[in-house]
Each structure stands twice: as structure tokens, then as C-alpha cells.
A and B are shown apart, each in its own frame.
Chain A
Amino acid sequence: MQNQTKSMLPNFFLCKFVPARLLCIEQTFYLAPHRLFFKMWFSMLACVCLLFAFMWRLWAVLPKSSSKPRRHSTSPCKTCIVLGSGGHTTEMIALIRNLDDHQYAPRTYVIADTDSLSEVKARQLEQERSGVEHKDYFILRIPRLREVGQSLSSVPFSVVKALLGSFKILSNMPDLIICNGPGSCISICMVAYLPRLLGIKHIRIVYVESFARVKSLSVTGRLLYPVVDNFLVQWPELLETYPRAIYNGTLV
């Protein structure tokens, strides 16, 4: 019995210099499973406490009905614009067309790395609005959340990849994120919540639901409805089910 226990211990415990007491503790650890359970209980309790702290903090930072920004109104607002696939990009370009170049600067366009058309559209818009002299914008490429036809087993990997890629948006700590529904909005909003949870910065998130949504929200919309600061819809029918939404007419 004694020999068996010894063989289970790492080699360095068996050398001469190890005090007998330490060896004893290790032996009781292996021989007494109830201590293991105690440790497990303790760590589980710690996890639950941590989870509660996290939930409380999340609840504290979730947008309330009257959450006005506390920022200086003359300084430019670092803006992050999430572009997605075809229809979403067309709508987004229309939404931001009238934003002031100097007030919303610099503008970061977040684009999935397989999407070349959105980049063309973004650059086109920037050229139309500002001519040549001030190029106050960046293109940021992030991995796409899910390719069409991707196998389900590889989804967790690409989710992690997309989440890690979304951290790039924090490089210049934007003041504002505008998104309108492509899947990458979710990972970006998750990342944008980190500074808010830690009390570093409140990055304002504005979500605009597509004109195509009359009575029901998109999956992204439903997920982001409780967490974004402003949720805009383009059909008044949606206000009945989603009272926190804002309807100001057709925006695109």
C-alpha cells in the first residue's frame, strides 16, 4: 500500500530532502477523498460568488432608460462602424452618410476579412464626403463569425477567433459603436462591454435594425436589444413588443 502511494507521487517528493511532514500531507491528500471534495466545494463557491459579482456589475452597467452620455460635446467622437454583408452595408452607408466628418472622427470601419465589397463601399463614401485632404478613417479587418456552409463542429473555434479578433477595436478605445445587424456585431459588442464592466470607459453602442424588419427583430437584434444604449427600429409596429426601441421614421 505504502509503495503504491509513493509511486503515484512526483519524483521530487521522493528525494531525501523532502521533510517527512510534507510527504505526510501529500499522502493524506491521496488517501482522503473527502478533502478533495472540500476543495471542490470551496472553488465552486468562489466561482458562484464571482459569477454573482459579474452579474451584479453587468446589471449595474446595462443601459437604463435615461442613460445620457457624460462627454464633452466639442471634442470629436471616436466612432467605430461595423459593416457586414450586402444589404447591411448598403443600409449602414446610408445611415452614416450625413454624419459630420469632424465630429465623428476618426472613423474605424470594421469589416470581415473575406468581405471586399464593403471595403470598396466604405472607401467610396469617404472619398465622396471629404475629397482628398483629410483621410481620417481606418479599415479594421476581423475574422468572420461563420462562413456560409461551415461545418458545425468548427463553429466554436471560429467564435473564439472572432472574439479575439474583435479585441482590435479596443486599440483606440472608441466612444461610439454603430452597428446594424451582421453577426460580427455580437462579438464586437461583447468586447465593447469589457471596459464598461471594469469601469474604464462607457463605449456607447447604437444599434439600428434593418428596414426589412417590420414585426419581428433579427437574431442579432434580439440578442443585442437588452445591452445596447440606443436601439433604433424603422417600423412603428415593433414598438409594441420592444418598448425600449426608438422609431424616428425610415432611416435608410
Chain B
Amino acid sequence: MRALVTVGSTGFDDLIRSVIDGKVLSTLYELGYDHLTIQYGSSKAIYNDRLERISTTSNRTPVIEGYNYKPDLKCDMVESDLIISHAGSGSILESLRLHKQLIVVVNEKLLDNHQDELACALENKGYLLRSTCRQLSDVLNALKNKYFIPFPEQDTSIFASFLNNEMGFK
């Protein structure tokens, strides 16, 4: 099985640091993920640094490949079974609509925590699992017995019918 980590168009050092970590990688391997793709954005330095350290310690880890950004990130999302994503709403919506297992990692360093509000709200509805960088390996362990409620399909007719009503079209 394949897992994908995505940090979005900027960087997220703490997420890269906690994903490329002995404990998290072995948990992923035990769960059956033998391939890990990491979209690291501007966190390239951390990515390279962590990768060097990890390669010497253990071989019971998934195969790791990484890139900074791809316009067709969606292809990689489609191919993977688990997505570990930053808390941006676009990325979350896209993953949920593909009906993937989703762990959203919130960035606690961001001052405006409305991203966390979204992650919490969606977790409460059972669509995804929310995690902080430190809790990641615990949340991965919880993945085994987790049932994800399927996210409703996109319905663009709601807004159209609302607007038709407002503008006097029937």
C-alpha cells in the first residue's frame, strides 16, 4: 500500500521532521505501507537532513521518495491509500472527495488557528483523523480500527438554485 504526505504550496518543517522518524516509519511499515511519497514543498533541507539520518538506522521502513511540488499532485493522491496532509481546506476537500483515509496534521505554530477549527469539525463528524506533529505515531496506531464516514459528494447545484431563487429565475 502507498502513503502520501503533502505539505501544500509552502513548507511545513515540523511535519516532515515527525514523518521521517524511526517510530512513525516503522508504524507505517507495520500497517502495510511499503511506499511513502513525500511532497515537501519548501522544507527540502529538513527532508534531506532527516533522510540521511534514517537510512543508516533501520531497514524495516517504507521506500521513501520525495519532490517539492507537482501540478498533478492529484494523480499521486489517487494512487495512495493513506494521505497525511497539512490542514489546508483545499487539500482536505480533495482527499475527502477521493474517499481516502486521511490524517490531517495541524500546524500549531500558525497564529490564526482556523485551520485547526476545520480539522476538529471534520474529525468530530468522523470524516478524518486530526493530529499534531507530536501525536502522529499514536494517531497512526489508531488507524487500524478506525472507520471513516464517507464524505458527501460535491453538489454544485445548491448554490445555483439559491442564486436562481434570489435573482428571480425559476
Contact = CB atoms under 8 A, between A and B. Distances in A.
A216 B115 CA distance: 11
B41 interface: no
Given A212-B115, A214-B118, A249-B155, A99 B168 contact: no
Interface string A69-96: 1011100010000000011001000111
A86 B9 contact: yes
B54 interface: no
B89 A98 contact: no
Nearest to A218: B114
Interface string A55-81: 000000000000011011100010000
Contacts of A211: 89, 93, 118
A235 B121 contact: yes
Interface residues of B, number: 27
Given A87-B89, A212-B89, A214-B117, A71 B159 contact: no
Contact of A214 (B121, B155, B160): B121
B169 A249 contact: no
B169 A73 contact: yes
Contacts of A230: 162, 166
B149 interface: no
Interface in B85-135: 88-90, 93, 114-115, 117-118, 120-121
B162 to A, nearest CB: 6
Contacts of A72: 168
A151 interface: no
B160 A212 contact: no
Given A214-B118, A216-B117, A237-B121, A248 B167 contact: no
A96 B168 CA distance: 17
Contacts of A204: 166-167
B160 to A, nearest CB: 4
A98 B93 CA distance: 19
B114 A216 contact: yes
B164 to A, nearest CB: 7
Nearest to B90: A87
Contacts of A210: 89
A176 interface: yes
Interface string B60-85: 00000000000000000000000000
Nearest to A89: B90
A204 B166 CA distance: 10
B20 to A, nearest CB: 27
B50 to A, nearest CB: 28
A222 interface: no
A215 interface: yes
Interface in A96-140: 96-100, 103-104
B163 A94 contact: no
A250 interface: yes
Interface of A: 68-69, 71-73, 77, 86-87, 90, 94-100, 103-104, 175-176, 178, 204, 206, 208, 210-216, 218, 229-230, 232, 235, 237, 246, 248-252
9 contacts: A69-B166, A100-B160, A100-B164, A100-B169, A211-B118, A215-B114, A215-B117, A218-B114, A235-B121
4 residue pairs, one from A and one from B, having the closest CB atoms: A212-B89, A73-B168, A98-B160, A214-B117
Given A248-B158, A251-B156, 5 more contacts: A99-B163, A103-B164, A211-B118, A249-B155, A251-B158
